[in-house]
Amino acid sequence: MLENGAVFCGQVAGKFKETVCEVIFNTSMTGYVEMLSDPSNAGLGVVMTYPLIGNYGVCLEDMESDKLYPAALLVHELCDTPSNFRCEMTLEEFLIKHEIPCVTGLDNRAIVMNVRENGAMKAIVTDDISDKDALLNKIKSFELKNEYTGVNEVVSVDGVKVAFIDLGARKSFAKAFAQRGYAVTKFATLNADEILNGGFEGVVISNGVEDHDKFADMLPEIKKLMDNNMPIFAIGLGHQLVALANGGKVEKMLHGHRGCNYPVRFNDKDKTYITAHNHGFAVTEAPANADVLCVNVNDKTIEGLKYQDKPVMTVQFIPDTVKGPNTAFLFEDFKNLIKEGK
């Protein structure tokens, strides 16, 4: 049941438990294992817009963390006969193992239309709707929080030395930097003095659950790094935090961008790239000291910023981690930014 009172019925798949969440929709046709194990999806009830999910099963090698994060998976049809040589278990078995409730048989088109028209909403997944008032009270009391806690660890030791501030990134993202000649050290929090005195050549601020209040103390730390001309590459939530630290404006979107098919146009390259997104907030007003690097073709929202006279660039989308005619060039752009800042 959504917070506006709309009720959608389906069947339980796997282990059921009543759960309150924020309902969003994801437009990806594949990548459900990566999505489910992405820390930035914590607390979300994910509606998959594609009607059939689970047709290639689960390959544990594809997991982006050690556990699953969404509060619930909501689909039209869950495939119970996957076909893939890499398959190790069905998606339902995977969800049972990690105790994530799943509801199938839903009219996912109707749910998506509801969210598109009314915005992302809180909801409850339950097997008893007899007392709607009580359910609505549970829904209203829910708050989406970033409860992710990163770890301090060295990912790689060879290359350009960067501090990777992990606010809830997929594990493949830090590895992508390592594979491109970066010496990556992960940090759970941002301490400007520790980084400035640690011999680091640059800082990466990752994406994560958009709980801006939790990271309010990080804003002056970001500003201190910038005042000391530390090269910064920020992604997703990091992009928003750098904007806030510099006087920009960040607002909640109607229904967010979540999926792997969003066109982003780079002003300096005069090219459009299809990109992956997972965010419900956007920078709606760029800081006075930043130029717009790229925009979303569909709704013209700001997708990237380049800061004036500072070696700092930020993007809202998730850069591609595989080589090809895609946004993987940003990894090299950051290296060039570091060289220019020396």
Question: What does the pLDDT read at residue 268?
Answer: 86
Question: What does the pLDDT read at residue 340?
Answer: 82
Question: What does the pLDDT read at residue 342?
Answer: 60
pLDDT digits (tens, 9 = 90+) for 202-256: 999 999 989 898 899 999 999 999 999 999 999 999 999 999 999 999 999 999 9
Mean pLDDT of the chain: 93
DSSP assignment of 145-209 = --------EE---SSEEEEEE-SS--HHHHHHHHHTTEEEEEESS--HHHHHTTT-SEEEE----
CA distance 177 to 154: 12
pLDDT digits (tens, 9 = 90+) for 151-209: 899 999 999 999 999 999 999 999 999 999 999 999 999 999 999 999 999 999 999 98
Residue 30 has pLDDT above 70, yes or no: yes
Question: What does the pLDDT read at residue 323?
Answer: 66
Contact by Cβ (8 Å): 145, 178: no
pLDDT digits (tens, 9 = 90+) for 300-322: 999 999 999 999 999 999 998 77
Residue 9 has pLDDT above 70, yes or no: yes
pLDDT digits (tens, 9 = 90+) for 71-118: 999 999 999 999 999 999 999 999 999 999 999 999 999 999 999 999
Contact by Cβ (8 Å): 323, 305: no
pTM for the structure as a whole: 0.93
The pair of structure tokens assigned to 75 is 């689909």
Cα radius of gyration rounded to whole Å, the chain: 20
Question: What does the pLDDT read at residue 270?
Answer: 87
Domains of the chain from N-terminus onward: 11-140 (3.50.30.20), 153-341 (3.40.50.880)
Question: What does the pLDDT read at residue 324?
Answer: 62
pLDDT digits (tens, 9 = 90+) for 40-63: 999 999 999 999 999 999 999 999
Q: How confident is the model at residue 325 (pLDDT cuts 50, 70, 90)?
A: low
Q: What is the largest CA-CA distance in the chain?
A: 65
What's the number of CA atoms in the CB half-sphere (13 Å) around residue 288?
1
Q: Which of 282, 311, 287 lies closest to 299, judged by CA?
A: 282
